[in-house]
Amino acid sequence: MANNTFTGWMTHTQQTVECTLEALLPNPARAPQMLHEAMRYSTLQGGKRVRPLLAFAAGELAGADAANVARVACAVEMIHAYSLVHDDMPCMDDDVLRRGKPTCHVQYDEATALLVGDALQTLAFDVLASPLAGVDAARQLAMVKLLAHASGHAGMAGGQAIDLSSVGTALNQPELEFMHMLKTGALIRAAVLLGAYCGQVLSDAENSALDHFAKRMGLAFQVVDDVLDCEADTATLGKTAGKDAANDKPTYVSLMGLGEAKQFARDLYDDALAALAPFGDRADRLKQLADYIVARSF
Amino acid sequence: MANNTFTGWMTHTQQTVECTLEALLPNPARAPQMLHEAMRYSTLQGGKRVRPLLAFAAGELAGADAANVARVACAVEMIHAYSLVHDDMPCMDDDVLRRGKPTCHVQYDEATALLVGDALQTLAFDVLASPLAGVDAARQLAMVKLLAHASGHAGMAGGQAIDLSSVGTALNQPELEFMHMLKTGALIRAAVLLGAYCGQVLSDAENSALDHFAKRMGLAFQVVDDVLDCEADTATLGKTAGKDAANDKPTYVSLMGLGEAKQFARDLYDDALAALAPFGDRADRLKQLADYIVARSF
| pLDDT tens readout for residues B219-249 | 999 999 889 888 875 555 555 555 665 666 7
pLDDT of residue A171: 85
Given CB atoms, is A247 within the 8 Å cutoff of chain B?
no
| Residue in A118, A123, A136 to test binding to B, most B beta-carbons within 10 Å | A118
**What is chain A's alpha carbon radius of gyration, rounded to the nearest angstrom?**
18
**pLDDT tens-place string over residues A219-245:** 999 999 889 888 875 555 555 555 665
Band (B1; pLDDT cuts 50, 70, 90):
very low
Strands A97-98, A101-102: pairing is antiparallel
Instruction: Give, in order, the Cα–Cα distances in Å from B215 to each of A24, A71, B208, B264.
Output: 26, 31, 10, 14
> Using an 8 Å Cβ cutoff, are A216 and A268 in contact?
yes
Chain B residues in contact with A161 by the CB 8 A cut-off are: 32, 34-35, 112, 115
Sign of CA pseudo-dihedral A260, A265, A270, A272: positive
Of the candidate CATH numbers 1.10.600.10, 3.20.20.70, 3.20.20.10, 1.10.10.60, the domain formed by A6-295 belongs to: 1.10.600.10
ipTM: 0.94
Beta-bridge partner residues of B97: B102
**pLDDT tens-place string over residues A137-192:** 999 999 999 999 999 999 999 999 999 988 778 788 899 999 999 999 999 999 99
Sign of CA pseudo-dihedral B108, B114, B117, B123: negative
| Residue in B130, B141, B147, B179 to test binding to A, most A beta-carbons within 10 Å | B141
Chain A residues in contact with B91 by the CB 8 A cut-off are: 109-111, 114
Is pLDDT at B94 greater than 80 in this prediction? yes
The secondary structure of B48-76, three-state, reads: CCHHHHHHHHHHHHCCCCHHHHHHHHHHH
The string of DSSP letters for A100-143 reads TEE-HHHHS-HHHHHHHHHHHHHHHHHHHTSPPTTS-HHHHHHH
The answer to whether A131 contacts B140, with C-beta atoms less than 8 Å apart, is: no
Measure the CA–CA gap between B255 and B193, rounded to whole angstroms: 30
Nearest to A155 by CA among B85, B35, B109: B35
Band (A201; pLDDT cuts 50, 70, 90):
very high
Band (A108; pLDDT cuts 50, 70, 90):
very high
Number of CB pairs < 8 Å for A and B?
151
- Kindly state the average pLDDT of the residues B111-136: 98
- Kindly state the average pLDDT of the residues B139-168: 95
The residue in chain A having the minimum alpha-carbon distance to the alpha carbon of residue B147 is: A126
Nearest to A121 by CA among B110, B42, B151: B151
B positions 153-172 inside 8 Å of A (CB): 153-154, 157-158, 160-162, 164-165
pLDDT of residue A230: 85
Nearest chain A Cα distance for residue B169, angstroms: 15
CATH node for B7-295: 1.10.600.10
pLDDT of residue B169: 81
CA B290 to chain CA mean position, Å: 13
- Kindly state the average pLDDT of the residues A253-281: 94
The residue in chain A having the minimum alpha-carbon distance to the alpha carbon of residue B79 is: A122
Beta-bridge partner residues of B262: none
| Residue in A126, A175, A178 to test binding to B, most B beta-carbons within 10 Å | A126
Measure the CA–CA gap between A23 and A38, rounded to whole angstroms: 15
CB-CB: which of A89, A117, A125 is closest to B144?
A: A125
> Using an 8 Å Cβ cutoff, are A109 and A250 in contact?
no
Measure the CA–CA gap between A280 and A282, rounded to whole angstroms: 5
The answer to whether A129 contacts B148, with C-beta atoms less than 8 Å apart, is: yes
- Kindly state the average pLDDT of the residues A110-129: 98
A positions 11-70 inside 8 Å of B (CB): 26, 31-32, 34-36, 39
Measure the CA–CA gap between A81 and B111, rounded to whole angstroms: 18
CB-CB: which of B110, B131, B145 is closest to A129?
A: B145
Is pLDDT at A112 greater than 90 in this prediction? yes
Measured from the Cβ of residue B204, the count of other Cβ atoms closer than 10 Å reads 7
> Using an 8 Å Cβ cutoff, are B116 and B101 in contact?
no
The answer to whether A32 contacts B123, with C-beta atoms less than 8 Å apart, is: no
Q: Which residues contact A7 (CB under 8 A, 6 or more apart)?
A: none
CB-CB: which of A114, A162, A164 is closest to B111?
A: A164
Beta-bridge partner residues of B101: B98
> Using an 8 Å Cβ cutoff, are B69 and B198 in contact?
yes
Chain A residues in contact with B24 by the CB 8 A cut-off are: none
Measure the CA–CA gap between A193 and B67, rounded to whole angstroms: 31
- Kindly state the average pLDDT of the residues A183-210: 97
Residue type, A130: S
The answer to whether A162 contacts B112, with C-beta atoms less than 8 Å apart, is: no
Measure the CA–CA gap between A161 and B112, rounded to whole angstroms: 7
